[in-house]
Copies of this chain bind each other. A is one copy, B any other.
Amino acid sequence: MLTQSHLAHRTRNMGASAIREILKVVSRPGMISLAGGIPAPESFPMHILQDIIDTVIRKYGSRAFQYDLTEGFLPLREALVGYLAAKGIDAAADKILITSGSQGILDGLGKILITPGDRVAVEAPTYLGALQAFAPYAPRYVQIDTDDQGMRPDALEQALSTQSIKFVYLVANFQNPTGRTLPMQRRKAIADIIRRHDTLLLEDDPYGDLRYRGTPLSPINVLAPDQVVYISTLSKVLAPGLRIGFCLAPALIRRWLVLAKQGVDLHTSTFNQALAAEYLYGGHLDRHLPRIIALYRPRQHAMLEAMQRFFPSEFSWSRPDGGMFVWVQGPSGMDMKIVNQQAIARNVAFVPGTFFFARPGDGRETLRLNYTMADESTLYRAIKVLGDVFREAMTQIPDWRQAV
């Protein structure tokens, strides 16, 4: 009989994801889910994919189906040079690694960097998938305070001055879960801080291309290339089901990431890497990205308008310039885990914000809303229901006015 005692000690750090359980519930028919974090299927370039597939088979033949380098399929790495250059990142193809989704880089970095007990600094709140990727390697998390402009440099400086921190993890553009973007001044301040403290920064940028207004900002990687691992993905601008992530890292990190990846999956699907290469080479991304933005921008707009109209005045929320999420703060005393159950009973679901905090119990009164998976009128209806649910929930907070 196999029992828990057959498992490694590290599995203690690997709890089941509560979000996963929520996402299972909300897949039931009739539910309007604002809980997911996935691109709209109608954003996928299906009309282009068939062409790209033909090109790949014609151009690469059996090579697209053979084992390939752990570092990544060279034509894709070469295509990414131009893609990154457009962001101001000057990288040769041999500095770029391809992984199976950007999740693959987070796991690899956790594996090669974290000795059990090492401190890892993350935004409060942060991307849950990063917490999950690092968890098996048993870090201690240090939460860095954030505000409407993302991670606060003074809080980071304070943390790095008082503790030994292995690395800092952040999402600078349209963060998951908050939608917030670090302004240029903060990027400079953070680059300066990590340089001074000789610390490594993992800059995760899955959403940077999904900008609905304003001007793109330079990645922190550009400001401190020797200290920053830049991580991104084609999941949001091509298709997540192809599982193509990539990173740019200092040489030492890169060398070990390759060794780690060799043990994990040898390499990422050659065929899918070839598809991604042709998507970039053919100029398809440049032509298709405006369509994705034209799909999401009005959805975000509809959601924000409806929130303005239906959410109680005690609520506040982010107004992101891009990405997939809006972050909502309710009055203190509200427990959004309970409120979510009440919303689910009325066929609308979100993710309670507390799951995105490394410190258990933080952010009970917060929640994350996604607007990419429903059309405008559905979003409007869902937000109207949530407004009602919130109002009702507020009457259930004991002395909530006092609590505020």
Please give the residue numbers on chain A whose beta carbons come within 8 Å of chain B beta carbons, in ascending order.
1-4, 6-11, 14-17, 20, 38-39, 41-42, 44, 46, 49-50, 53, 57, 61-68, 99-101, 103-104, 106-107, 110-115, 118, 129, 132-137, 166, 198, 200, 226-227, 235, 239-243, 250, 252-253, 256, 259-260, 262-272
A77 to chain B, nearest CB (A): 16
Bound-state Cα–Cα, A46 to B118, Å: 48
Determine if B113 and A200 form an interchain contact, defined as CB atoms under 8 angstroms apart: no
A205 to chain B, nearest CB (A): 17
A220 to chain B, nearest CB (A): 16
14 further contact pairs, Cβ within 8 A, besides A107-B263, A242-B270: A2-B227, A7-B252, A8-B112, A8-B113, A8-B115, A15-B259, A44-B62, A46-B57, A66-B241, A68-B241, A100-B243, A242-B269, A271-B272, A272-B272
Contact A264-B103, Cβ < 8 Å, known A240-B66, A242-B65: yes
A sample of 19 inter-chain contacts (CB < 8 A) reads: A6-B166, A8-B137, A10-B112, A11-B259, A16-B259, A41-B63, A46-B62, A50-B57, A62-B239, A65-B241, A103-B264, A107-B263, A107-B265, A110-B263, A129-B266, A239-B271, A242-B269, A243-B267, A243-B268
A263 interface neighbour in B2, B50, B132, Cβ under 8 Å:
B132
Determine if A8 and B63 form an interchain contact, defined as CB atoms under 8 angstroms apart: no
- The majority secondary structure among interface residues of chain A is helix
Provide the residues of chain B in CB contact with A133, threshold 8 Å: 263-264
Provide the residues of chain B in CB contact with A268, threshold 8 Å: 100, 243
Provide the residues of chain B in CB contact with A269, threshold 8 Å: 100, 241-243, 269, 272
A9 to chain B, nearest CB (A): 5
Bound-state Cα–Cα, A250 to B6, Å: 12
Bound-state Cα–Cα, A252 to B200, Å: 37
